[in-house]
């Protein structure tokens, strides 16, 4: 019997091994969702689903604190800037908010504030309650009263410079009004598009025969992040001010006072704001706004509560990526009932099969919905969603939920409306691609049965081929200008690019292909494309490894592998050895920092496939893979494997690992025969790592001895 799927186990019941596996899975999934939301303005899960993933991730770190590192998502906000615009470093980070989903959560939030501030029950505690706009966060920096820089949130620490675009918005003053304006003043708020403006824009799109936009939030974000500010100017965008960043002096001492000051300076602030003095008042305001939500001209997804006094905000401070003094009380998702026409299977880059319910069109929250995700085979079985085997006949009636303006999900089947004769849905055993490749259920490194079914065809599967190619040319991989998703789809359909190596032979084949004669191309665009391809014939080792699209090998993992092996030859030889079952090489790879069984199994599976090896060989014949940047080569620990254990006194565990990397050492999380040093904190008298190190003859150092060894006394 297969082991239980860790994603379905309560955090309280997870073992250490299950927690590590689940934490790593969530890190990958959340990072991908952040990229889609913050960089691409195209989220694929609802706000509620995303919030649940974030909460589980945070809960795991609270129960298993050793899993929190400098790379932890609880220390990060959003996603890195896309690279299309100049970067702007925020003087004060743009953090996100914790969420409250129930009235009980709000009551507990107020109680926590009182406990932290040690307030008596009868001592006044005021909050500002503000409608939470569903738009794009923006920071506007004014110097001597004039707008100097406008930047997106980005990853919270660094955003994108969109100053020319922001200057086209009528709601954003070019110069602040009034007297005694602080020399430095960063006003923060939300760029949004109203519902009537969105519908009018889509009407013009339809009349012009162009693709329709999905929702106001994504349309506002996409409109603002145009390279041509003229396009932004043509779009009806608005701005609400509600927060601030760096201020050379504060013009008010309360949150509500700052909002009034923004209005005096020329900004529009949300009229749906109220000062409340108890949890009961906050909840009453939330219910009031919820009832008015459908009649508003703009989208909101909740109400934000903030401690009103700024000196108390300062005392309360922050918890990782969120302020302790504020919380977002989300609205429940919108629901509707409709009929399932069919279930279709979509195949992603990694071969994951995702079932999508095709629905009778239904309006949910003002949006016409025709598709809903069923997530995976287990979810279909749990819901028992059924379709008719007779074309054109209706299937089950289902309740769907839409939250966050993304593809909805099926919540339940209305059994009393089920047509007679419907049979349970049989999840396909072969991929829907022309090859009909067998479908396999994933098994993780802990031997646990996963929820995903995958096509076993890898690059042989046409669906995966195009997705792999799109990943290969993406910005963080080979980053080839002029070769985007549409071009990849077209070139693949024409048979001109079937695998990565074909990209680098395209120019040589153009005498026959004649790309410049294709509609939408020309001599200049073709020359630019070939020039972009030529510049990518040299690629860093970490980018090359990442570009291969190996499951579980993201940017961080690719970086660690490149640093660990240094050259393509060394990494390639190790991967081939792992594929052949070489346990010694596997143990050596396992000793690398942040590399574990899941990654090693994925590498072994990838290089075990003859088809994949052929693709890699043909590709490496076309490009030059640069050796990894090597850290300091003259330290006493260069090339040595170091494990840190226990509570260190002079530095955190993460700081210790970072130091080891700078000195050219390879930090590891486990002791093996390949370990050179174990650095133990003073609290460690006996531990499994210490016992194993002594048994293996590993040199054990105190923290002071480590500093002496590396010359950092």
* Residues annotated catalytic, as ranges: 132
First to last CA, the chain: 55
Nearest of 334, 354, 330 to residue 343 by alpha carbon: 354
638-to-317, 568, 676 alpha-carbon distances in Å = 40, 20, 11
DSSP 157: S
SS3 letters for 501-570? Answer: HHHHCHHHHHHHHCHHHCCCCCHHHHHHHHHHHHHCCEEEHHHHHHHCCCCCCCHHHHHHHHHHHCCHHH
CA–CA gap between residue 531 and residue 525 (Å, rounded): 10
Asked if 313 contacts 116 with a C-beta cutoff of 8 angstroms, the reply is no
- Here the tokens at position 7 are 């994603």
Q: Is 641 helix (H, G, I), strand (E, B) or coil?
A: strand
- Here the tokens at position 613 are 């090896």
- Here the tokens at position 699 are 């040199």
Residue 397: strand pairing partners:
339
CA–CA gap between residue 322 and residue 51 (Å, rounded): 13
Number of separate helices (H) and strands (E) present in the chain: 25, 26
Nearest of 101, 155, 44, 82 to residue 476 by alpha carbon: 82
Nearest of 451, 365, 353 to residue 400 by alpha carbon: 365
Q: Is 605 helix (H, G, I), strand (E, B) or coil?
A: helix
Residue 31 φ then ψ, to 5°: -60, -40
CA–CA gap between residue 360 and residue 702 (Å, rounded): 67
Task: Please state whether 337 falls in left (phi above 0), alpha (psi between -120 and 50) or beta.
Answer: beta
Q: What sign does the dihedral 536-542-543-547 (CA atoms) show?
A: positive
Output the DSSP codes for 49-99: HHHHHHHHHHHHHHH-GGG--TT-GGG--S----SSS-EEE-SS------E
Q: To 10 degrees, what angle do helices 583-590 and 568-579 make?
A: 130
DSSP 122: T
Asked if 470 contacts 485 with a C-beta cutoff of 8 angstroms, the reply is yes
């Amino acid at each position: 019997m297969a082991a239980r799927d860790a994603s379905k186990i309560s955090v309280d019941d997870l073992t250490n091994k299950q927690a590590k596996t689940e934490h790593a899975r969530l890190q990958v999934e959340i990072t991908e969702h952040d990229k889609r939301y913050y960089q691409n303005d195209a989220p694929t899960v609802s706000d509620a689903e995303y919030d649940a993933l974030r909460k589980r991730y945070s809960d795991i770190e609270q129960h298993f604190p050793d899993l929190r590192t400098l790379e932890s998502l609880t220390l990060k906000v959003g996603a890195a800037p896309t690279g299309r615009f100049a970067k702007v470093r925020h003087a004060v980070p743009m953090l996100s908010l914790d969420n409250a989903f129930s009235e009980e959560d709000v009551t507990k939030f107020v109680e926590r504030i009182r406990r932290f501030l040690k307030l008596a029950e009868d001592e006044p505690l005021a909050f500002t309650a503000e409608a939470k706009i569903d738009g794009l966060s923006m920071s506007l920096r004014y110097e001597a009263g004039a707008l100097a820089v406008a930047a997106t949130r980005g990853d919270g620490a660094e955003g994108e410079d969109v100053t020319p675009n922001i200057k086209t918005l009528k709601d954003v003053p070019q110069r602040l009004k009034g007297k005694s304006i602080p020399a430095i003043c960063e006003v923060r708020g939300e760029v949004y598009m109203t519902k009537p403006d969105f519908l009018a824009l889509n009407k013009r799109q339809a009349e012009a025969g162009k693709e329709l936009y999905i929702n106001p939030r994504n349309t506002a974000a996409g409109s603002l992040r145009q390279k041509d500010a003229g396009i932004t100017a043509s779009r009806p965008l608005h701005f609400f001010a509600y927060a601030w960043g760096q201020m050379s002096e504060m013009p008010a001492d309360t949150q509500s006072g700052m909002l009034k000051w923004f209005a005096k300076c020329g900004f529009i602030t949300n009229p749906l704001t109220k000062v409340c003095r108890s949890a009961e008042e906050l909840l009453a305001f939330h219910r009031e706004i919820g009832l008015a939500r459908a009649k508003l001209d703009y989208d909101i997804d909740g109400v934000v509560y903030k401690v009103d006094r700024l000196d108390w905000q300062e005392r309360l401070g922050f918890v990782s990526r969120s302020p302790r003094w504020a919380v977002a009380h989300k609205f429940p998702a919108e629901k509707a009932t409709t009929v399932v026409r069919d279930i279709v299977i979509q195949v992603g880059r990694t071969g994951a099969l995702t079932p999508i319910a095709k629905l009778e069109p239904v309006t949910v929250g003002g949006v016409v919905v025709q598709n809903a995700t069923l997530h995976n085979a287990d979810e279909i079985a749990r819901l028992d969603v059924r379709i008719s085997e007779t074309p054109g006949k209706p299937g089950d009636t289902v309740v769907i939920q839409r939250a966050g303006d993304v593809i909805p999900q099926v919540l339940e089947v209305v059994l009393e409306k089920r047509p007679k004769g419907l049979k349970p849905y049989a999840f396909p055993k072969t991929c829907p691609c022309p090859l009909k490749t067998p479908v396999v259920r994933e098994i993780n490194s802990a031997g646990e049965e996963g929820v995903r079914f995958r096509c076993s065809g890898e690059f042989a599967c046409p669906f995966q081929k195009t997705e792999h190619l799109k990943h290969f040319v993406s910005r963080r991989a080979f980053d080839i200008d002029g070769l985007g998703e549409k071009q990849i789809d077209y070139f693949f359909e024409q048979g001109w690019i079937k695998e990565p190596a074909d990209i680098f032979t395209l120019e040589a084949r153009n005498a026959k292909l004649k790309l410049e004669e294709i509609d939408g191309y020309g001599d200049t665009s073709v020359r630019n494309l070939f020039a972009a391809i030529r510049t990518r014939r040299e690629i860093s080792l970490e980018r090359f490894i990442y570009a291969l699209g190996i499951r579980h090998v993201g940017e961080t993992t690719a970086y660690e592998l490149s640093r660990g092996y240094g050259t393509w030859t060394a990494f390639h030889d190790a991967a081939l050895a792992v594929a052949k079952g070489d346990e010694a090489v596997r143990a050596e790879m396992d000793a690398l920092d942040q590399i574990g069984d899941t990654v090693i199994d994925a590498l072994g599976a990838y290089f075990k496939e003859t088809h994949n090896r052929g693709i890699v060989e043909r590709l490496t014949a076309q490009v030059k893979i640069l050796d990894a940047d090597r850290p300091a080569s003259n330290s006493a620990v260069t090339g040595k494997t170091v494990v840190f254990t226990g509570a260190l006194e002079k530095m955190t565990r993460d700081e210790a690992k970072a130091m080891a990397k700078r000195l050219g050492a390879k930090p590891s999380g486990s002791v093996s025969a390949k370990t050179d040093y174990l650095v133990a904190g003073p609290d460690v008298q006996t531990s499994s790592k210490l016992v194993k190190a002594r048994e293996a003859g590993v040199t054990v150092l105190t923290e002071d001895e480590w500093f002496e060894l590396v010359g950092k006394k």
